[in-house]
A and B are shown apart, each in its own frame.
Chain A
Amino acid sequence: MSAVTSLLLPRRDEPAARPKPRATLVVSIAVLAIALAWAFLPWLFTSQDPLAGVAADALQAPSAAHPFGNDATGRDLLARVIFGAGNSLSGAAIAVLVGLLAGTAVGVLAGSIGGLVEEGLMRVVDVLLAIPGLLLALSVIVLLGFGVTNAAIAVGVTSIAVFARLSRSQVVRVRRSDYVEAAFGSGGTFLAVLGRHVLPNSLGAVLALAALQFGSAILQISTLGFLGYGAPPPTPEWGLLIAESRDYVASAWWLTTLPGVVVAAVVLAANRIAAAIREATA
């Protein structure tokens, strides 16, 4: 909680008379909280069934009963968006976790050992960076097979390189500091120094990147879902929702627009929070 409050406080170097709008941060946290609540407790937010449709309600425009309208088989779109949050957000979480853990491990190893190990690892990372993200994700999916989790892992693999680069640069910066030298000088072993000094002082920026990647992972998973590599229909998933509704763009705008707005809102919120984390740890 205290971390959140400190994020909400005005920054040190702002003139007191003209505080920057922290309101955007409050809204961002609220948006993400709602999305998370949807993911964990979807039934609290809608009484409609996301899978069973009423044929008579097919392609109904948004109304008081169905705020997001109904799709071609008469399913309530809001219910599908709410139930889809679980798939999309857990996918994004898996993706970030894969990138964060694997990427940071590579980066920290490279940065702290140095020498040939660093050269070798970082050249592999360069190769990863050279391949377009979507192509890499598709290749991984082809290897792993289709599905929500596999799509998430594929997206995570594409972010390993970014995490590795950032964490290596941070580790190299901290490693050159006098206090790390002093720690080695007092007889510290490699692992002890790594755990006590190098990691705690280099992970702030990496965590900010994780929040940023959360937003882009939602987009990428939605992209894969849209292309048909993610969750199979009729599973509610944000990317799939938008993809399924392509045929109705002209006749039922709400089917693509409203889920799209939700995705955009969550991505923007994650970005705003990432910026705040970066400021707070800088």
Chain B
Amino acid sequence: MTEPLLRIDGLAVSYRTRHGRGLHGRRTAVEGVSLELGRGEVLALVGESGSGKTTIGQSIIGLLPEGGRVDAGSIELRLAGRPVDLAQLPPRAVRELRGRRIALVSQDPGTSLNPVQTIGASVAAPLRIHAGASAGLGGRDRIRRRVVELLDRVGLDDPERRAGQYPHELSGGMRQRALIAAAIALEPELIIADEPTSALDVTVQRRILDLLDELRAELGSSVLLITHDLAVAAERADRIAVLRGGALEEAGATRAVLQQPASAYTRELLADAPALADLAPRPARAPAAPLVEVAGLVHEYGRGADAFRAVDAVTFGIERGTTHALVGESGSGKTTIGRAVAALHAPTAGAIRIGGRDVVADRRDRGIRRLVQLVSQNPYASLDPRRTIAQTIGEPLRNWRPEEGGLRGTGPGGRAELARRVATALDQVALPADVAGRLPRELSGGQRQRVAIARALIIEPEVVVLDEAVSALDVTVQSQILDLLEALQRDLGLTYLFITHDLAVVRRIADTTTVLRRGEAVETGSAEQVLTAPQHDYTRALLEAVSAPEWLRAAQPDRATAPGPSVRTAQPVRTAQPVRTAQEVA
């Protein structure tokens, strides 16, 4: 039996925090985690945000953020047969290993490359830094040749030219390839890939993961793959470690863990992973006249010859009480369409009607806001950091007079009514009443998104545009929000325009769908038809990109029999409770 390359034993990491009155405390981020990673192996660390998976990666490479500290345990890396404890090494010595023996591929290729340095210079950095240590890499020409070779190896076309380009001239996928080239420059024994594809489009994700696999095989490196995506872990990892709240839930061979999960939490993750969920049986309905009609929508940015056509003649309709999903990768124009439907900007051409009302012509009329509301992607940006949750949720009511359904100008008498309506709205989105007095920063991402939904619903719109409303959330929270949205739709008869890049989410929530590619609708129809019998190559490519291995799909518990709310402790969950009916709310 060969010794593992990396052995983590009883690792504990904490961060300094500040409690109210300026006293310093420490918050434990990782506690008692033990892991092993063999040579040439892929170990996936999976868990939700806050589970400590990134912290473990950072402690290995010695790059914990300020205030972070390894409190206990050892991180043994076996170099040339001798174990070295990275946790005990002085920073200088760890720096020597970084890049040479351990490399990091980080999450966001948009910010990980220096914008004023050429790609070539960024890739050459590790070569130059360790030039003395690695013999034969002295001269400038040699470095340049090696950089071009590396860029070629990671599949960038025309590597000579790419080396001279700046990050903003490359797409996200190309930047991630460049980052990988920098990481493998010195053929490290260990590659830490921290969510290497989370910021990329699905079709690009697959190619990047394939590339990592190839390189691992070629260099014989080990990969620590940090991901929130169970399907990615299932497909790529030899072994898997499930983390939760800084502690190890379970670890073992990937198949064994996922097919027979020992911990309830793993089962829950499996149940919530949307990529694996079967097509939700949406109730069949008789065709009716659409409530929302979008016809021949065109949107151009810029004027004249430079005009960029972001949306090109898109047409679809949404029946009352149903969900229409707009699916596409970044740049497909889906957000532009959503904002036009929400009357936030005017299209260049085309018509949008909601219940017979001309949204394009009336978009400056405040009244349109009571018809259609938008919930935006990022719950961290969509709430005013200085206003309490009650103020935020109650704000729409203060914009409208009582005869318009609001409480504007009702004076002190209206204040009690306002508080009551806010409490009802909080209850509707299953938030405890005591969050009313808190500020957004005291809430989790999922709770914030519930607040944003409550704010959109409090003036009782008929149509809600949900722009990537669950994309920034962990799978379990995502699943809860989707449940909530379904319940609200059922009880309030809402009509959703659901914008997403994630076909798995479409599968969960949509009745009908339109697949967009570079502004054009390539396919439109019922969700079931589009997802099970795609007509267009692009739809097929998208579907293939999110498919999970067959054995994993079989391993997934049925949603109906999945662990109920009792074990979902990421936050107090009450989505399973009946939501108030429209009559009670009004």
Q: How far is the CA of A9 from the CA of B19 in the complex (A)?
A: 12
Q: How far is the CA of A185 from the CA of B338 in the complex (A)?
A: 13
Say which residue of B18, B22, B366, B382 sits within 8 Å of A178 (CB atoms). Answer: B382
Query: Does A10 count as interface, using CB distance less than 8 angstroms?
Result: yes
Query: Does B67 count as interface, using CB distance less than 8 angstroms?
Result: yes
Are the CB atoms of B344 and A188 closer together than 8 Å?
Answer: no
| A193-213 interface (Cβ within 8 A of B) | 196-197, 200-201
A15, A188, A200, A201: residue with the most chain B Cβ atoms closer than 10 Å: A188
User: Which B residues are CB-close (under 8 A) to A200?
Assistant: 386
With contacts A182-B374, A182-B452, A187-B369 taken as known, whether A201 is within 8 angstroms of B384 at the C-beta atoms is yes
Q: How far is the CA of A179 from the CA of B452 in the complex (A)?
A: 10
Query: Does B387 count as interface, using CB distance less than 8 angstroms?
Result: yes
Are the CB atoms of B370 and A187 closer together than 8 Å?
Answer: yes
User: Which B residues are CB-close (under 8 A) to A15?
Assistant: 66-67
User: Which B residues are CB-close (under 8 A) to A188?
Assistant: 395-396, 399
Are the CB atoms of B399 and A192 closer together than 8 Å?
Answer: yes
Say which residue of A16, A177, A178, A186 sits within 8 Å of B395 (CB atoms). Answer: A186
User: Which A residues are CB-close (under 8 A) to B396?
Assistant: 186-188
Are the CB atoms of B22 and A10 closer together than 8 Å?
Answer: yes
- Tell me how many residues of A have a C-beta within 8 Å of chain B: 22
User: Which A residues are CB-close (under 8 A) to B373?
Assistant: 185-186
Query: Does A181 count as interface, using CB distance less than 8 angstroms?
Result: yes
Chain B window 378-390, contacts with chain A (Cβ cutoff 8 Å), 1 for yes, 0 for no: 1001111111000
Q: How far is the CA of A192 from the CA of B24 in the complex (A)?
A: 40
Q: How far is the CA of A90 from the CA of B384 in the complex (A)?
A: 36
| A118-148 interface (Cβ within 8 A of B) | none
Q: From residue B120, how far is it (CB to closest CB) to chain A in Å? A: 34
| B5-41 interface (Cβ within 8 A of A) | 16, 18, 21-22, 24
With contacts A179-B381, A187-B400 taken as known, whether A13 is within 8 angstroms of B67 at the C-beta atoms is yes
Are the CB atoms of B344 and A181 closer together than 8 Å?
Answer: yes
Query: Does A34 count as interface, using CB distance less than 8 angstroms?
Result: no
Q: From residue B363, how far is it (CB to closest CB) to chain A in Å? A: 11
Are the CB atoms of A182 and B459 closer together than 8 Å?
Answer: no
User: Which A residues are CB-close (under 8 A) to B485?
Assistant: none
Q: How far is the CA of A4 from the CA of B400 in the complex (A)?
A: 39
Q: How far is the CA of A179 from the CA of B451 in the complex (A)?
A: 12
Are the CB atoms of B24 and A182 closer together than 8 Å?
Answer: no
Q: How far is the CA of A65 from the CA of B22 in the complex (A)?
A: 45
By beta carbon, the residue of chain A nearest B369 is A187
Q: How far is the CA of A182 from the CA of B440 in the complex (A)?
A: 15
Q: How far is the CA of A198 from the CA of B385 in the complex (A)?
A: 11
By beta carbon, the residue of chain B nearest A188 is B399
User: Which A residues are CB-close (under 8 A) to B22?
Assistant: 9-10
User: Which B residues are CB-close (under 8 A) to A181?
Assistant: 344, 374, 376, 382
User: Which B residues are CB-close (under 8 A) to A16?
Assistant: 16, 24
Are the CB atoms of A178 and B399 closer together than 8 Å?
Answer: no
Query: Does B455 count as interface, using CB distance less than 8 angstroms?
Result: yes
Query: Does A63 count as interface, using CB distance less than 8 angstroms?
Result: no
Are the CB atoms of B381 and A177 closer together than 8 Å?
Answer: yes
Query: Does B208 count as interface, using CB distance less than 8 angstroms?
Result: no
Query: Does A47 count as interface, using CB distance less than 8 angstroms?
Result: no
Q: From residue B444, how far is it (CB to closest CB) to chain A in Å? A: 18
8 example contacts (A-B, Cβ-Cβ < 8 A) are as follows A12-B18, A13-B66, A182-B382, A183-B395, A185-B342, A185-B373, A187-B369, A187-B396
Residues of A within 8 A of B (CB): 9-10, 12-13, 15-16, 177-179, 181-183, 185-189, 192, 196-197, 200-201
